[in-house]
Amino acid sequence: MAVVETKAVVKDYVENGQVVTQALRGVDLVVEKGEFMALAGPSGSGKTTLLNLIGGLDAATSGTVKVDGRELGALSRADLADLRRDRIGFVFQSYNLIPVLTAAENAEYVLELKGMAKAERRAKVKALFERMGLGALMNTRPLKMSGGQQQRVAVARAIAPQPAVVLADEPTANLDQKTGHELVSMMRELNREQGVTFIFSTHDPMVLEHADRVVRLVDGKIVADERKPKP
């Protein structure tokens, strides 16, 4: 089953009526449920742009983007916001945690937006934190945590609502090699155990090594789609 599908996607950036950058040039991509996939390529290749289009954070100039069977360009603003909340998880390189909330409250935030009762969402996040080695940090605020701990909380927040796909934009960029490796290994385990679909944009060779599939972009086009053989 396709979780993400793009067809002939073009993204132009325009100034004064003129196209100044064509970030994506006719991208066709299908991502199946349960994939652990990386978008690779040099700076300016279109990785983050493609991730932002899949996440509904930006709109394609032409072509179609579908997530969980729904075409993003056909959705109202409210429906798109609901889809992002319910079916798309985000992990950013800068963590994007809310500093005045505890780790658990950050992870519960989307569940609260969905209307889940406090006791139910706390139990769900507690079990997830224990699985991810975060049990001792439930009541800790982000500024008291290391970068690796903050990024783990960000991953917990992303997967707590059980989204169709988690989009991770350079998630190891601000982490040392050991911490980055631990984070990606943990996400790999969640992918295998829970079937969470991950799409990364990355320059990190370690992330590429973990990925089952690496899609390489150059100048806004897919130039290679490499899949590792299944064991």
Q: What average pLDDT values come out for the chain (231 residues) when binned by 10 residues?
A: 95 86 95 96 93 95 96 96 94 91 95 93 94 92 93 93 94 90 91 92 92 96 91 62
**Domain CATH code at residue 208:** 3.40.50.300
- What total number of domains does the chain contain? 1
Task: Tokens 């706390």: give the residue.
Answer: 122
Query: Does residue 53 form part of some domain?
Result: yes
Query: Does residue 177 form part of some domain?
Result: yes
User: Which amino acid, 185?
Assistant: S
Q: What is the mean pLDDT of the chain?
A: 93
Query: Does residue 219 form part of some domain?
Result: yes
Query: Does residue 204 form part of some domain?
Result: yes
Query: Does residue 132 form part of some domain?
Result: yes
- Domain range for 133 is 34-57+75-227
Query: Does residue 196 form part of some domain?
Result: yes
Q: What is the pLDDT of residues 15-69, one digit of tens each?
A: 888 887 899 999 999 999 999 999 999 989 999 999 999 999 999 999 999 999 9
Query: Does residue 13 form part of some domain?
Result: no
Q: How far is CA 215 from CA 74, 84, 152, 187, 198, in A?
A: 26, 23, 25, 19, 13
Query: Does residue 8 form part of some domain?
Result: no
